[in-house]
A and B are shown apart, each in its own frame.
Chain A
């Protein structure tokens, strides 16, 4: 397979964007992304697009992208793979370019989360991920979906609520200096622990906000990269993993097997291991999930995530900074956009242009896990060789 690089990355600020529909968010994001290409790119250079969207606000996703962005003459495919949608869109576009079928591809992710009344929101979203005859009426809402895992994880590994709170504190801190983040405010461990309870071990400040937003990447095949930039970021590994859709069928709920499978595939493709990663954007939809991700992604041994967060190892100053953008927790989480936005952050980190710039990272990892914790996608990026 030929090498694939990211040559442009852009997004719009995450937040409650009631003034912006899909037809506004998508063209604005495309304009920003084309403008990010060092040597410029014309929209007509794009040969195919993959659009990650979980909901269908404003109608037929692929059609809305093609129509609103003026991309009617290229193939547009909508990707929906729950919260792994964004990184799965990256994976699909990467494979298309690697195969030689396409030279330049647009990957764009977007979602709007507040387009239906809040009284029906829970039911709307549960309808996307639950069996109508069995689990749907029981009220297995998204935070409960993850909290059932985290409660068992805390039980088996003696993880305390303070450890969860440390994740929220770190990611909120990182978002303060990120101009596109949804929640730009510091929080303390005490505030997180005292916040109104939501589900199980999660209080309000352990949870991602409901964000609208969009993010995009421009991918190019190795032969054409030079036309666009001298500082590409290489897509070295992509992986997708699945697991059982019913929680009752998950044998060990202290881990997300979907993540371990996706990570194994991505590491193998990149030819590296977790010890090589310099920076990661991981799926911290709820604080405790980030701790489980450390272990599933191989950043530490099983049960050692609490030590890693306690030691500050994943802070901006640590040996493996995680979620320098603020993560889903504070940057925000429009599901279709989230994985793509993680790669936007990592593109900037690997080019030395990020808002919370780290010291010359080389290898970066993006990760989502979602739906009924049944799907995960991992993308591994590498900085251009100096």
Chain B
């Protein structure tokens, strides 16, 4: 099996040279951002989402994820707690048609990557071994944002990191995911990933695909490591690069409040809302949200679902300056006219910062956690003021 295609995503918000997540992003939305370009192009048989830091332990929206990727509701979707080593192991074990998605999400950095496994051309990964060390020197307890670290960097290197790397070091060049770039350098290795978890492993694969030589990739967790030889080859690389916006301009919730939720209303909207599907009457009239009674021809119930275009332009937009309890603000709302479609949608504008979106601005619809209502994440689409090459190819 080969890694046939790789897709990368990093949030727009930038802080201290790192991309960080917005208030409307979580593990699920980042996974979808990275995975969707691949799901659009390849047949996906199963999805594995790997993250060291799941924001939801029970009630992860596997159905939301499958629907947002355009997969059937019977496609296996699995969420695994995993660091870099476990992520590399998962890639080595993945079968044809697997979509392996890594999400690294902490307050200091966020990235996502997805790899589609096929038996055609692509990056070949060959297992080079794995090893467990002694006790972990970094331990992150459930619910705490940062790990507890044994307070002696030299001991950590000499007793934890270095022995693992030495066990797995081959004869050629070596790249490491799972430790800081400076630590990697001390160990005689390169670090090519923006984050150091499962997303970092996939970003490293993308970087290595551009290198003209075979490289040993060593992925480290707190006390274990996995290595693979990466044979340089052409890989389908989809990098959905979003321009950076200063994180100091990120909207935030100024006053927490329980936003009322109606599960039946959400359940009724679900298929159309998460799948972005309109209804087309047999007379050709398109409605969104779907109507059963056609307002043009009067037929009832003669509709079929059709996917909506995901790019469009702002018909009207306003910025909400006044703080609204329970909503991260300031935020902007836009009514977006979708390309080559009679449909307009109302959406919040994502990743916009201090700027005010303007009428006529082009962009695309992206899955976001639009609200948290009575503790339940409410997923829907936001308008992101950019259209990348990926979107143009999708609509072409």
In the complex the two chains form, is A141's CB within 8 Å of B359's CB?
Answer: no
B332-350 to A contact mask, C-beta < 8 Å, 1/0: 0101000000011111100
Q: From A125-133, A176-184, A213-221, A336-344, give the one contacting chain B.
A: A125-133
Is B110 an interface position by the 8 A CB rule? Answer: no
The 8 Å CB contact of A247, one of B335, B359, B371, is B335
In the complex the two chains form, is A137's CB within 8 Å of B269's CB?
Answer: no
Is A298 an interface position by the 8 A CB rule? Answer: no
B305-323 to A contact mask, C-beta < 8 Å, 1/0: 0000000000111111110
Is B9 an interface position by the 8 A CB rule? Answer: no
Please indicate the chain A residues that have their CB under 8 angstroms from the CB of B329 in the complex. 139
In the complex the two chains form, is B321's CB within 8 Å of A246's CB?
Answer: no
The 8 Å CB contact of B346, one of A122, A198, A246, is A246
Please indicate the chain A residues that have their CB under 8 angstroms from the CB of B289 in the complex. 131, 133-134, 246
The 8 Å CB contact of B255, one of A119, A196, A201, is A119
- Output the least CB separation between B355 and chain A (Å): 14
Is A149 an interface position by the 8 A CB rule? Answer: yes
Task: Give residues 101-136 of A contacting B (CB, 8 Å).
Answer: 119-120, 122-123, 127, 131-135
In the complex the two chains form, is B316's CB within 8 Å of A199's CB?
Answer: no
> Size band of the A side of the interface?
20 to 34
The 8 Å CB contact of A199, one of B257, B262, B321, B370, is B321
- Output the least CB separation between A207 and chain B (Å): 10
> Size band of the B side of the interface?
35 or more
The 8 Å CB contact of A132, one of B265, B331, B343, B347, is B265
Is B266 an interface position by the 8 A CB rule? Answer: yes
In the complex the two chains form, is B265's CB within 8 Å of A127's CB?
Answer: no
Please indicate the chain A residues that have their CB under 8 angstroms from the CB of B335 in the complex. 148, 247-248, 253
| Closest partner residue, chain A, to B319 (CB atom) | A200
In the complex the two chains form, is A199's CB within 8 Å of B273's CB?
Answer: no
Please indicate the chain A residues that have their CB under 8 angstroms from the CB of B333 in the complex. 138-140, 144, 148
Residue with the highest number of chain A CB atoms closer than 10 Å, among B317, B320, B327: B320
| Closest partner residue, chain A, to B343 (CB atom) | A248
| Closest partner residue, chain A, to B317 (CB atom) | A151
**In whole angstroms, how far apart are the Cα atoms of A123 and B255 in the complex?**
13
In the complex the two chains form, is A152's CB within 8 Å of B359's CB?
Answer: yes
Task: Give residues 235-289 of B contacting A (CB, 8 Å).
Answer: 255, 257, 259-260, 262, 265-266, 268-269, 273, 288-289
**In whole angstroms, how far apart are the Cα atoms of A150 and B260 in the complex?**
29
User: Given A144-B318, A152-B315, is A137 in contact with B325 using a C-beta cutoff of 8 Å?
Assistant: no
- Output the least CB separation between B66 and chain A (Å): 19
| Closest partner residue, chain B, to A155 (CB atom) | B359
**In whole angstroms, how far apart are the Cα atoms of A248 and B346 in the complex?**
6
- Output the least CB separation between B379 and chain A (Å): 10
Task: Give residues 326-365 of A contacting B (CB, 8 Å).
Answer: none
- Output the least CB separation between B356 and chain A (Å): 9
**In whole angstroms, how far apart are the Cα atoms of A327 and B337 in the complex?**
34
User: Given A119-B255, A123-B257, A246-B346, is A141 in contact with B266 using a C-beta cutoff of 8 Å?
Assistant: no
**In whole angstroms, how far apart are the Cα atoms of A120 and B260 in the complex?**
10
Is B380 an interface position by the 8 A CB rule? Answer: yes
Residue with the highest number of chain B CB atoms closer than 10 Å, among A143, A151, A199, A249: A151
- Output the least CB separation between B153 and chain A (Å): 46
Please indicate the chain B residues that have their CB under 8 angstroms from the CB of A131 in the complex. 265, 289
In the complex the two chains form, is A137's CB within 8 Å of B371's CB?
Answer: yes
User: Given A127-B260, A134-B273, A137-B373, is A199 in contact with B319 using a C-beta cutoff of 8 Å?
Assistant: yes
**In whole angstroms, how far apart are the Cα atoms of A16 and B378 in the complex?**
35
Please indicate the chain B residues that have their CB under 8 angstroms from the CB of A227 in the complex. none
In the complex the two chains form, is B318's CB within 8 Å of A199's CB?
Answer: yes
Is B326 an interface position by the 8 A CB rule? Answer: yes
Please indicate the chain B residues that have their CB under 8 angstroms from the CB of A132 in the complex. 262, 265-266
In the complex the two chains form, is B259's CB within 8 Å of A123's CB?
Answer: yes
Is B324 an interface position by the 8 A CB rule? Answer: yes
Is A147 an interface position by the 8 A CB rule? Answer: yes
Q: Which 10 A-B pairs have the closest CB atoms?
A: A200-B318, A133-B269, A137-B371, A133-B265, A132-B265, A152-B316, A197-B321, A132-B262, A147-B318, A248-B344
B residues with a Cβ closer than 8 A to A are 255, 257, 259-260, 262, 265-266, 268-269, 273, 288-289, 315-322, 324-327, 329, 331, 333, 335, 343-348, 359, 370-371, 373, 378, 380
A residues with a Cβ closer than 8 A to B are 119-120, 122-123, 127, 131-135, 137-141, 143-144, 147-149, 151-152, 155, 196-201, 246-249, 253
User: 8 extra interchain contacts, Cβ-Cβ under 8 A, other than A138-B347, A151-B318, A200-B320?
Assistant: A120-B325, A133-B289, A137-B370, A140-B346, A148-B317, A152-B316, A197-B319, A246-B346
